[in-house]
């Protein structure tokens, strides 16, 4: 019979000893956060020399492609591995079939080309979802009030294809439709885009923390009082998330995302322990906005809290984190 390990008793064992100095704390740290763990989400708009503040996300802006290229250069100089692109679309281009999503000349594709030209060694992750392009704010095609799965998947495949052809490194389907990973993987293989990774939003919850993001991409007003509970996960469920992850991996995902982040660290840990694959956490807009607003009001040290929360993601097993604090944290760690 195995005996429990004895760690000694006071005063021979003093657990504070390794914590007494900075060098010792660093030497015995179990979890390490580095710039390599950070992915910066950014919002792109059409035009030139455009910077539009997002009131519900202090410090975050929508940026035209020329300015976004400079942001990309700054991120690359800091050592941030990748950017995740999200568009703000002119309302006149939004339709019920979201066809602007698979226009090869849309703002996401143009931004991808420009950033890859300027920063060829910086990873570009593109969002595969219809909500920025959809006149009703949903991630899927809606007919008679129902979000249709298979019709949505057809549009997502076309969207992922134009993004990959524009030069993105990773397509990240965030829609939570059934079967879309296999469909996207098949078309990437067929079109000789085998090197393009799929980072699946496999465990994306129907969360109340997304509000500022919907402001940023301009879908909040279109969505109105509607919700996304018929396709995003119930926050009460954990086992269901593992089933979603298993499906996406089986269909060809290279890595998976858990979203939101801090309230779902248990899901990050379960996914990492169950599958042993790269799992990323998304510190979503509401999480960021709370920290930033508290910092701006002097209630918290924003940067210190950002670093602490990102270290918590790493401790829970995340391979990396999508965070709007990426540049602030990278500058702090530099």
Query: What does the alpha-carbon distance between residue 161 and residue 171 come to, in Å, rounded to a whole number?
Result: 9
The predicted structure's pLDDT at residue 222:
76
Query: What does the alpha-carbon distance between residue 251 and residue 40 come to, in Å, rounded to a whole number?
Result: 27
The predicted structure's pLDDT at residue 2:
58
Query: What does the alpha-carbon distance between residue 103 and residue 97 come to, in Å, rounded to a whole number?
Result: 12
Mean pLDDT by 10 residues, the chain (334 residues): 71 92 94 97 97 96 98 98 97 94 98 98 97 91 92 97 98 96 98 98 96 88 84 97 98 98 97 97 97 97 97 97 98 93
The predicted structure's pLDDT at residue 121:
97
59: left (phi over 0), alpha (psi -120 to 50) or beta: left
Query: What does the alpha-carbon distance between residue 38 and residue 321 come to, in Å, rounded to a whole number?
Result: 5
The predicted structure's pLDDT at residue 208:
94
The predicted structure's pLDDT at residue 122:
98
The predicted structure's pLDDT at residue 67:
98
**Residues whose CB is less than 8 angstroms from the CB of residue 141 and which lie 6 or more positions away in sequence, other chains included:** 96, 97, 98, 130, 147, 148, 151, 152, 155
The predicted structure's pLDDT at residue 3:
60
Residues assigned a catalytic role: 204, 259
Residue 284 token pair: 């979503």
Could you tell me whether strands 197-204 and 141-143 are parallel, antiparallel, or unpaired per DSSP bridges? unpaired
pTM for the whole structure = 0.95
CB 258 within 8 A of CB 280: yes
pLDDT in tens, 7-63: 788 988 899 999 999 999 999 999 999 999 999 999 999 999 999 999 999 999 999
CB 259 within 8 A of CB 251: no
The predicted structure's pLDDT at residue 299:
98
Phi/psi at 257 (nearest 5 deg)?
-120, 140
């Amino acid at each position: 019979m195995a005996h429990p390990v004895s760690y000694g008793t006071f005063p021979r064992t003093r657990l504070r000893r390794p914590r007494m100095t900075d060098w010792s704390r660093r030497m015995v740290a179990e979890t390490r956060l580095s710039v390599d763990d950070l992915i910066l989400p950014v919002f792109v708009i059409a035009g030139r020399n455009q910077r539009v503040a997002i009131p519900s996300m202090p410090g975050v802006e929508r940026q035209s492609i020329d300015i976004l290229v400079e942001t990309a250069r700054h991120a690359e100089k800091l050592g941030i591995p990748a950017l995740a692109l999200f568009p703000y679309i002119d309302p006149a281009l939004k339709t019920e079939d979201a066809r602007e999503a698979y226009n090869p000349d849309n703002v996401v594709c143009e931004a991808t080309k420009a950033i890859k030209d300027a920063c060829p060694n910086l990873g570009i992750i593109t969002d595969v979802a219809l909500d920025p392009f959809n006149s009703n704010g949903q991630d899927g095609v809606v007919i008679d009030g129902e979000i249709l799965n298979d019709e949505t998947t057809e549009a997502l495949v076309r969207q992922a294809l134009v993004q990959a052809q524009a030069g993105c490194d990773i397509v990240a389907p965030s829609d939570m439709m059934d079967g879309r990973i296999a469909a996207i993987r098949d078309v990437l293989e067929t079109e000789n885009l085998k090197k393009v990774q799929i980072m699946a939003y496999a465990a994306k919850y129907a969360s109340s923390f997304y509000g500022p993001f919907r402001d940023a991409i301009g879908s909040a007003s279109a969505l109105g009082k509607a919700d996304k509970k018929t396709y995003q996960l119930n926050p009460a469920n954990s086992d269901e998330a593992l089933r979603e992850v298993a499906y996406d991996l089986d269909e060809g995902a290279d890595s998976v995302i858990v979203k939101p982040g801090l309230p779902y660290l248990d899901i990050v840990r379960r996914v990492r322990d169950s599958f042993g694959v790269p799992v990323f956490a998304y510190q979503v807009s509401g999480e960021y906005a709370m920290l930033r607003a508290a910092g701006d009001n002097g209630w918290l040290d924003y940067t210190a809290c950002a670093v602490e929360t990102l270290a918590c993601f790493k401790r829970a097993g995340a391979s990396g984190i999508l965070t709007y604090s990426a540049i602030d944290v990278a500058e702090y760690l530099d």
